[in-house]
Structure 1
Amino acid sequence: MKRLNLIFCAIVLFLTLGACSLDDDGANFHYEPLQITNVELPESFDLNEVYNIKVKLLRPDDCTLIEGFDVTRGDLTTRNIVAIGAILDNKDCIALNQEVEDSFRFEVLYNDTYLFRFYSGEDENGEPQYIEVEIPVN
């Protein structure tokens, strides 16, 4: 029985140490902003309601996975929205330029008009461009 325990421990130790790669240099992907091409918003909001905001964005290739949205607050009712993609490294990518739809939930907390700024890429000078939409609150 003691010998069987010793063999079992040796196998577990071998599998544990053998499965680790010392050449692993970390993550095999990185994050990048994706270009938002269109948004679907209501004409107005009602206070304390939650809305599903539909967004169309550009998936440039099959190495790009849609991770979600980064929504940051500017002023009290200004929201900057960036679609986030995880880009797989070290892979031959096939260009798609595919428009895909995703959404996020938004809760209206203030009575003032909301300004949404959706990241839509960069201009020829590398400056960020935005689709800006103002939504009044009833």
Structure 2
Amino acid sequence: MKRIALLMILAVSLYSCSSDDGPSVAFEFAEITASDLPEYFELDEEYDINVDYVLPSACHTFAGFEGGQGENEENDSIFEYSIRAVSSYDPALTECTEENDSLTGSAKAFDKFEINSENYTTIRFNFLSGFDSDDDPEYITVDVPVGEPEPETPEENTNE
């Protein structure tokens, strides 16, 4: 009787280890639609930068941001950030039964963003906004000057 009980426990434990159990998670990019960047950055000031996004479907949830940074290859006075919004979903779902009033959202991409180097005159943000028909990424590019821009002077009237 003890052997039968042991075999039953072993069989149940092997069955419960099936790799098909439970949800799986996959990731997909969400479309970035806007940001709240300032008109210019001041040295040693802190900025919170929020980004608006659109999820691919109601089955997706916002997972966070990923990206990279570095000097611009063509102009060393420009420092660039590439930002992508990431969403997660369960690829095993064949139909989305989740209810979502809105696919749009907003999240903080940078908390206490600070420029502390005078080496750069421009900070460039490349926000992934989608993909074209060839699956090449498309970006919203925003250049933010470092330091308050010089006021524009009106052109002189030469028709006097």
TM-score tier after normalising by the smaller chain length: 0.7 to 0.9
CA 1:70 to 1:131, structure 2 compared with 1: closer, same or farther past 3 Å?
same
The two structures, once aligned, show a CA RMSD in angstroms of: 2.6
* Cα distance in 2, alignment partners of residues 86 and 40 from structure 1: 24
Alignment of structure 1 residues 52-71 onto 2, 5 Å: 52-71=48-67
2:142 match:
133
Letter in 2 for 1:93: C
The one of 30, 40, 63 equivalent to 1:34 is: 30
- 1:27–1:74 CA distance, 2 compared to 1 (3 A): farther
SS in 2 for 1:60: coil
Q: Does 1:108 align with 2:103?
A: no
Q: Which amino acid is the alignment partner of residue 28 of structure 2?
A: E
1:4 counterpart residue number: none
Distance 1:98 1:40 in 2: 19
Whether the aligned pair in 2 keeps the contact of 1:74 and 1:80 (CA below 8 Å) is: no
Q: Which residue does the alignment assign to 1:93?
A: 96
TM-score norm. by structure 1 comes to 0.75
One-letter amino acid of the counterpart of residue 24, structure 1 = S
Identity across matched positions, percent: 30
Larger Rg: 2
User: In structure 1, the residue corresponding to 2:71 is in which secondary structure?
Assistant: coil
Q: Which residue number in structure 2 is paired with residue 24 of structure 1?
A: 19
Distance 1:65 1:114 in 2: 30
Q: 1:62 to 1:21 in 2, by over 3 A?
A: farther
Could you tell me whether the CA contact under 8 Å between 2:58 and 2:103 is conserved in 1?
Answer: no
More strand, by proportion = 1
Q: How many residues align?
A: 123
Decide whether the 8 Å contact of 1:35 with 1:120 is kept in 2.
yes
Mapped to 2, the partners of 1:69 and 1:120 lie a distance apart of: 13
SS in 1 for 2:103: strand
What stretches of structure 1 of length at least 5 have no aligned partner? 1-13
Residue ranges of structure 2 left out of the alignment (5+ in a row): 1-8, 73-78, 148-160
Shift of 1:89: 2.3
Runs of 4+ in 1 over 3 A off after TM superposition: 94-97
TM-score of the superposed pair, with normalisation by structure 2: 0.66
